[in-house]
Copies of this chain bind each other. A is one copy, B any other.
Amino acid sequence: MEKCVNLSVASHRAQESNRRLAARTAHLLPETEGHGTQGRVLKVALTMFAERGYAATSVRDIAAAVGVKGATIYAHYASKEHILAELCRIGHDAHYRGLRTAVLGTSGRPVDQLIAYVQAHVGFHTTYPMLAVVANSELHALSKELGASTFLLRRQSVELLREIVERGVHDHTFHVPDVWLAVAAIGGMGLRVAYWFSADHALSAAQVADGYTEFALRLVGTPPRRGTAQAADPEADSVAQRRPRRQQKHEFPDR
């Protein structure tokens, strides 16, 4: 046993079975993807925070991967925590805006809104897995001050789903034992997608989104329109039986 095996070294040998998430490439938002050193720092930090965790990633680690010395980081960000804060804000902001845009672009019926919400929710987690992992599982490392705007966005995302479910229950299209429980279940199962999904997964992002949309509709107790989904055949898009086709691509680029 060596004298001093430190965190970053230990994390480096993480290989396959114990990977934190399946995705291998950091995907930042197109409009946020800067081309200078500052943007590269953000992208590298995203990858490392997602794979090793915030606390296990040092400023020098990020700098080395960017191709710069540690001190240079501080010419672009006030502190390591500010980098995390920006990533969390970007992630939750994109997430919430995606949900909001999708939901607002529907008829207004709770069923349609739920479909749009889950499509956008799952779509975000398949398109930006690393952003989702960092924004969700490193949030606790953020101080109250630096995380304030992020916490607000997260509350709004949950609240948006809660209102949809509540309205669906109210007009008797949804039937759930408890509104909050359904919100937690739908939100939670979508969140977990970020950990196991990757571009080379057997299922495409659209298939995952469609499958989870079907699951969410069943979860809230909506009666199936025609038949129910068939097993084993990935082409059998059961959601298409309820709506003409998956609605707009909810602003996330296709893969």
Contacts and interface: CB of A to CB of B under 8 A. Distances in A.
A182 B196 CA distance: 13
B177 A140 contact: no
Contacts of A142: 18
Interface in A103-141: 137, 139-141
19 contacts: A10-B81, A18-B144, A52-B55, A53-B53, A53-B140, A169-B231, A169-B232, A175-B230, A176-B211, A177-B230, A177-B231, A177-B236, A178-B203, A178-B207, A181-B212, A185-B212, A185-B215, A191-B192, A218-B219
Contacts of A71: none
Please give the count of copies of this chain that the complex contains. Answer: 2
Interface residues of A, number: 70
A19 B228 CA distance: 40
A146 to B, nearest CB: 10
A179 B202 CA distance: 12
A55 B20 CA distance: 14
